[in-house]
Amino acid sequence: MASFEHPQPPLALYIHLPWCVRKCPYCDFNSHPGDPASLPFDAYVERLLLDLDLELCEPAARRPISSIFIGGGTPSLFPGPAIRNLLDGIRARVELIPDAEITLEANPGRVESRCLAEYRAAGVNRLSIGVQSLSEEYLERLGRIHTPQQARAAVRMARAQGFDNLNLDLMFGLPGQTLEAAQADLDALLDLEPEHISYYQLTLEPGTVFGACPPELPDLDLIADIGHQGAERLESAGYGRYEVSAYSRPGYGCRHNLNYWHFGDYLGLGAGAHGKQTVQAADGTPYAWRTEKPASPFRYLNADPGRRIGTRRDLSESDLVLEFALNALRLVQGFDLELFTATTGLPRSRITPTLEAAVRDGLLEIEQECCVPTPLGRDFLDDLIARFVA
């Protein structure tokens, strides 16, 4: 194994708040419907901070935090004081870099001006709003519980409370969607002038309502046309594509997600959260492990408070190769080949035959030590990544 002469990767923090009002039929995230009036917000925050205390028993976890991402579920179900207690508790335990990016996900139907003001005052400086569509018809087909009017109101309220870094999510390839309808939906979103847009295809996942009873989606050729049309429209509107489904105005790329895609390290707190850490062994080579917390909120809340919660698994050489590819190949600008050795400790020769074959097949380009997926490679990203499976 190659010598590991690089500093440890940056450290981010992911926090999972697992509850939502109603689970969407396409959703395969770890989310659990619950009545906001009876959810144990304070107890869950207390458990999250205990979880962090136990994570910090590992020296590799005691690095400055570059970003925090509060995802779900629907984190905007949590009242402002609970989010403040959570972030204050984190600051008391770890060092945040001075300009740390702190993102909170919100659903338009669960956004109130007062809560947004409290989130902002607590230190949240980036809001990610799950719009998904601005068409009443398609929102209904997706099983969403908000309206286009509520989505627009959420953006107005966020701006009024000082949020100047907004991400809006929008899906395409929706049941019955045409090329013209997709264009109209995207144009309506652009009218809201967010700093960042996540524009991604609806997929039918196993274990979901849509997976069991699939709606009729556009054919694959039409979905591809919608995706290409959307990418061109976003680029022309000033949103640079820096990841397969992520577009931003200059300077507004999501730093937390970029850490994932550069195969950085992160702590995972909350029900179902995953984490990854890398340490340097005595011989100068790195090894990495992945943690996973129990998916059930009840099990998470009631775990033994004296023991680190969840499971830990060391990553094998094959795991490292595949996980690196899963992340780095999503980057539109590609990655420096040095990054592979810097984050995995493996020699470049470990993936050279796979890279060369992908170049011959037109899926990758390698120029000046930078490996970049071609447009064909991005269109067939799953096939490209599958080549890195041992």
Average pLDDT on 366-385 reads: 94
Regarding pTM above 0.85, the answer is yes
Quick one: pLDDT at residue 109? 85
Instruction: Tell me the pLDDT band of 321, cut-offs 50, 70 and 90.
Output: very high
Quick one: pLDDT at residue 211? 94
Distance (Å, rounded) from C-alpha 64 to C-alpha 125? 18
Instruction: Tell me the pLDDT band of 9, cut-offs 50, 70 and 90.
Output: low
Q: How do strand 286-292 and strand 311-314 relate by DSSP bridges?
A: antiparallel
Domains detected in the chain: 11-258 (3.20.20.70), 317-390 (1.10.10.920)
Quick one: pLDDT at residue 8? 66
Radius of gyration of the chain measured on its C-alpha atoms: 21
pLDDT(6) > 80:
no
> How far is C-alpha 67 from the geometric centre of its chain's CA atoms?
12
Q: Where are the beta strands (DSSP E) in the chain?
A: 11-17, 19-20, 32-33, 65-72, 96-106, 126-132, 166-172, 196-201, 240-243, 246-248, 265-270, 274-280, 286-292, 311-314, 335-336, 364-367, 370-373
For 264-298, the DSSP string reads -EEEEEETT-EEEEEEE-TTS-EEEEEEE--S-HH
For residue range 67-113, list pLDDT tens digits in order. Answer: 999 999 999 999 999 999 999 999 999 999 999 999 999 999 888 88
Quick one: pLDDT at residue 7? 57
For residue range 142-192, list pLDDT tens digits in order. Answer: 999 999 999 999 999 999 999 999 999 999 999 999 999 999 999 999 999
SS3 for 51?
Answer: helix
Quick one: pLDDT at residue 143? 94
pLDDT(349) > 50:
yes
pLDDT(4) > 50:
no
Distances (CA, A) of 151 to 70, 142, 186: 20, 15, 14
C-beta separation of 256 from 69 below 8 A: yes
C-beta separation of 204 from 166 below 8 A: no
pLDDT(268) > 90:
yes
pLDDT(3) > 80:
no
For residue range 207-238, list pLDDT tens digits in order. Answer: 999 999 999 999 999 999 999 999 999 999 99
pLDDT(1) > 70:
no
What is the overall mean pLDDT for the chain? 94
Which of 1-5, 113-117, 243-247, 283-287 shows the lowest mean pLDDT across its residues? 1-5
Quick one: pLDDT at residue 111? 86
Quick one: pLDDT at residue 390? 74
For residue range 109-147, list pLDDT tens digits in order. Answer: 888 889 999 999 999 999 999 999 999 999 999 999 999
DSSP state of 29: S
Quick one: pLDDT at residue 287? 85
Instruction: Tell me the pLDDT band of 2, cut-offs 50, 70 and 90.
Output: very low
